[in-house]
Structure 1
Amino acid sequence: MSTASYFVPALLWQVELEIKRSKFLTFAANASNREDAEALIRSLREQHPQASHVCWAYIAGEPNTTVRSMSDDGEPSGTAGMPMLKILQHSGFGDIVVAVVRYFGGTKLGTGGLQRAYSEAVSAVLKDLPTTLKVSRSALTLVFDYEYDGSVGRLISRYDVADMQAKYDQQVTVTLAIADTEIQAFHDEVIDVCSGKIIVQMDSGVVE
């Protein structure tokens, strides 16, 4: 089931923690798909070739998507990636990747210490992360006669609509992206204002 709206990172964000002389550089960024998430991870590996570990987790899509993954990157199993992913899962964020670049400081933290350190690192980067609200939208195409152009235009102005384009041929064709929460109400109203003389086509994909 689609999430109507959720917060996503507005930009690449970084914080740094030092725990028992180990440095934890934590990054958070927008990732609406696996490719975006993995691109950041590769970039950080290239920028920090001397790092002991580059551990990561991501939710690439809305908060309840199954497109998610994580990695301990050589840390003891379950001490980095999973704690990081759990923080993300409870954060309510979507379209997000976090990566922690660790420079070992000479003191072993132990299993529990590592879990706490990586959880703390992700919590810290999320605390003041600049965000933007992402609204799940679906694409609609409307085809109607010229006589209804004014009425449809006034109706559209009352709804949460983006990316609207109009084409004027033998009939008017309008394409737009409307908030998923408003589709049914809009559909019912536009049918009414056009006295049923309108074609409404919906794209099943989500428009960002």
Structure 2
Amino acid sequence: MEYLIPKSAVVFEEEIKKSRFITYLRHTEGLVEAKAFWQDVKLRHPGARHHCWASVAGAPNNSQKLGFSDDGEPAGTAGKPMLSALQGSQIGEISAVVVRYYGGILLGTGGLVRAYGNGVQQALKLLETTVKIERQVYGLYCDYGQVNWLQLLCERYNVLIENQLFQENVWFQLAISDDKLEPFKQELTERSAGQLTIEPAE
């Protein structure tokens, strides 16, 4: 499985009816990292009235890694529209924090929804992304004579060799995407006449 993730951080700022909105976007892997990013922005803007937050902290389709907070704004007017904008982008491992300095004019619920959602959408237009391929890690032992064709096989199936140890035998730590796993295993078995197998890494 592959999806886009942020390549670098983005800041977008605008003023709406004297309120200042500053949108921060950043790559965050997991909700713990996302909440740490939120805390970091709060520390940078201690005088702001609100620090609203939303995160798609895993793959875009992983509903277990979603989070948001209205941070004192009326329920549903900040975190939800921010999260909707993030989900609409189909980008994973991304968090948005919108800082609001209140300007004395009430925006109403519709105005708040537009302000927070649009801030994230505008920031997303500035964002550079890169592709992330999700891989599982496996271990494999082979003989020295099998190393060359094994390395070529890894190249063919876009398998990453994350680590290797040369001792009596050679040990490889391989990162394999789910869609390449079965064909890779099948060719590995055929080429080694059933000698080589991969095991999930501990």
**What TM-score, normalized by structure 1, do the two folds share?**
0.91
1:187 equivalent to 2:179? Answer no
Runs of 4+ in 1 over 6 A off after TM superposition: none
Superposition map of 1:97-112 within 5 A: 97-112=95-110
**In the alignment, which of 5, 10, 13 is matched to residue 13 of structure 1?**
10
Q: Is the 8 A contact 2:29 2:93 kept in 1?
A: yes
**What TM-score, normalized by structure 2, do the two folds share?**
0.93
Deviations 1:42-96 (A, max 9, x none): 1111111110110010111111221211111111111001111111122101101
* SS in structure 1 at match of 2:198: strand
Q: 1:178 matched to which residue of 2? A: 176
CA distance in 1, matches of 2:158, 2:150: 14
Paired residues in the alignment total: 201
Q: 1:26 matched to which residue of 2? A: 23
1:56 equivalent to 2:53? Answer yes
Greater share of helix residues, 1 or 2?
A: 2
Deviations 1:112-143 (A, max 9, x none): 11101111011011112011111101112112
Superposition map of 1:160-175 within 5 A: 160-175=158-173
Q: 1:118 matched to which residue of 2? A: 116
Q: Which amino acid aligns with 2:185?
A: H
Deviates more, 1:99-108 or 1:177-186: 177-186
CA distance in 1, matches of 2:195, 2:161: 24
Superposition map of 1:22-171 within 5 A: 22-65=19-62, 66-171=64-169
Deviates more, 1:139-148 or 1:179-188: 139-148
* SS in structure 2 at match of 1:199: coil
* CA RMSD of superposed structures (Å): 1.5
Q: Is the 8 A contact 1:152 1:193 kept in 2?
A: no
Residue ranges of structure 2 left out of the alignment (5+ in a row): none
CA distance in 2, matches of 1:149, 1:45: 52
* SS in structure 2 at match of 1:77: coil
Identity of aligned residues (%): 39
Q: 1:196 matched to which residue of 2? A: 194
Residue ranges of structure 1 left out of the alignment (5+ in a row): none
Deviates more, 1:174-183 or 1:71-80: 174-183
Q: Is the 8 A contact 2:185 2:197 kept in 1?
A: no
